[in-house]
Structure 1
Amino acid sequence: MDALQTFNDTERAMADAFLELMGVKPYGKVTVKELTGRCNVARTTFYRYFEDTYDLLEQIERRLLDRLSLYRARKASSKDDRAGKPFESMENWFETGMSLRPVLGPLMGENGDVYFKERLQAQVRRELNAMMDDDRAPKDRLRPYYVALLASAHIGLLSYVVSVEDGSQLISAHDMAVIANSGRAAYYRCTEGAPPISDEQLFGGWRKMRDREVGVHDRPWCVLP
């Protein structure tokens, strides 16, 4: 999965060089001269596509934000198989994030753009609110706290995933979705006044399959695989 697939070959070469340099120095200190020298592109060619390195960074981040959309409401797209399916959406989000590790690593690392993580978290919060709207959760005083908890879980897990150097230490996107979903499960199963919600809507189709495999029908929500 290529986050920069909408770049042409020349743009992609410059974006790759920029991300490589970001791995060794703060993005604000990367110059056009060293960037173009690294990818063997003329400076005039760089300015044909980008105003400066900050413009290049913005275009990279915009594409990543598009790819890292967490949730589409049921009404948003009848053609999207994940629309209105929270758990499946979370699982897909982590799967996408894992596939984007080569790009997200330098961007979310110590030399990356802190503002990008803030933008991503704001986007995740908006989409989590849409998710809770679909679940008919009340807009009460508790809701923003649960949204903050869930958003922090998603961003925190993604930040950790892109920083892991040994790929063998990574867990699956499914297991990360289970972890991130635990706060949502706590809200619907343990909070007085939370609306009733089915196991399928809360845990996705995997829960029914899992219970069938192990012969459990009344499994407590907090027992994770």
Structure 2
Amino acid sequence: MNEDRRVRKTKLALKQALLTLLKKKTLGAVTITELVQRADLNRSTFYHHYNNAAELFEEIRSGVLDDLARCYREPYLHVRRLFLDELSASSIQIFEHVYENGGFYTVILDSSTAYDFQLEIQSMIQKITLEELLIDAPPSLNKELYASYHAHAITGMIMDWVRRGFPETPEYMNNQLLAIIRHHPEHPEVSYTASLHRQ
């Protein structure tokens, strides 16, 4: 095993150990001793890579956000124009990403920083949408409002799915997101009268 692979394996063990500990205690309560014991490493190995548990957690957080951005871009990385009617659910990767990082998302949503992290996701998706997906939007469309609407919708789907414990598969969520994006009825049927009778 070369050094790079050894380092990756060590860091992965530390990250998994930290996320496991965070299921039961706050970040500030995690000690380096219990962290390295759970990772089956020694303290000197930990301090070779990180100064404290907060620094390790920040590496996890930033890595997750970077990977989410990559997955969000995946459907249009290799095309000049994105056609929604030709977009396949299998090309959408954000829910696979969330599921694969489910331990982190579950921990972060149970923490005091849940709201801040949610805002980070919204801001990231909004920025990418505004800068990369609305180039030829009609002048009548307020790009900032559209990007905000889009970012809040996707973030809401992600957070709701995480909070409910991932009851649906990533494939199901991909298909539902695609169906939502494509759903633009010109004359939607409404049930206002029916709702009045139920009151």
Give the Å deviation of 1:29. 2.7
Rounded Cα–Cα distance in structure 2 between residues aligned with 1:82 and 1:12 = 36
1:164 lines up with 2:164 in the alignment:
yes
The two structures have a TM-score, normalised by structure 1, of 0.63
Query: CA-to-partner distance for each residue in 1:155-189, whole Å, 9 max, x for gaps?
Result: 1111122223363587713333136526xx65xxx
Rounded Cα–Cα distance in structure 2 between residues aligned with 1:7 and 1:139 = 51
Aligned match for 1:71, one of 65, 73, 82: 73
Query: CA-to-partner distance for each residue in 1:48-92, whole Å, 9 max, x for gaps?
Result: 111211211121122212211123696xx5xx3697466559832
Aligned to 2:18: 18
Aligned to 2:178: 178
Query: CA-to-partner distance for each residue in 1:124-180, whole Å, 9 max, x for gaps?
Result: 11111134424x114667332222221111111111222233635877133331365
Aligned to 2:195: none
Rounded Cα–Cα distance in structure 1 between residues aligned with 2:128 and 2:162 = 22
Describe the shift of the 1:221–1:113 C-alpha distance in structure 2 as closer, same or farther (beyond 3 A).
farther
Where do residues 145-156 of structure 1 align in structure 2 (5 Å cutoff)? 145-156=145-156
* Percent of residue pairs bearing the same amino acid type: 19
Aligned to 1:42: 42
Listed as ranges, the gaps of 5+ residues in structure 1 are: 187-218
Rounded Cα–Cα distance in structure 2 between residues aligned with 1:133 and 1:53 = 40
Residues 65 and 120, structure 1, Cα contact 8 Å, conserved in 2: yes
Rounded Cα–Cα distance in structure 1 between residues aligned with 2:187 and 2:133 = 18
Give the Å deviation of 1:41. 1.8
Aligned to 1:62: 62
Rounded Cα–Cα distance in structure 2 between residues aligned with 1:97 and 1:221 = 34
Give the Å deviation of 1:95. 3.2
Rounded Cα–Cα distance in structure 2 between residues aligned with 1:105 and 1:221 = 39
State the one-letter code of the partner of 2:73. Answer: Y
Describe the shift of the 1:38–1:138 C-alpha distance in structure 2 as closer, same or farther (beyond 3 A).
same
State the one-letter code of the partner of 2:173. Answer: A
Describe the shift of the 1:180–1:43 C-alpha distance in structure 2 as closer, same or farther (beyond 3 A).
farther
Listed as ranges, the gaps of 5+ residues in structure 2 are: 190-199
Rounded Cα–Cα distance in structure 2 between residues aligned with 1:46 and 1:140 = 55
1:125 lines up with 2:126 in the alignment:
yes
Query: CA-to-partner distance for each residue in 1:8-44, whole Å, 9 max, x for gaps?
Result: 1111111001111111222233222221222222122
Rounded Cα–Cα distance in structure 1 between residues aligned with 2:79 and 2:187 = 25
Rounded Cα–Cα distance in structure 1 between residues aligned with 2:166 and 2:130 = 34
Bigger mean CA deviation after superposition, 33-42 or 55-64: 33-42
Describe the shift of the 1:156–1:44 C-alpha distance in structure 2 as closer, same or farther (beyond 3 A).
same
Describe the shift of the 1:112–1:17 C-alpha distance in structure 2 as closer, same or farther (beyond 3 A).
farther
Describe the shift of the 1:73–1:164 C-alpha distance in structure 2 as closer, same or farther (beyond 3 A).
closer
Counting matched residue pairs gives 179
Structure with greater helix share of residues: 2
Rounded Cα–Cα distance in structure 2 between residues aligned with 1:85 and 1:54 = 42
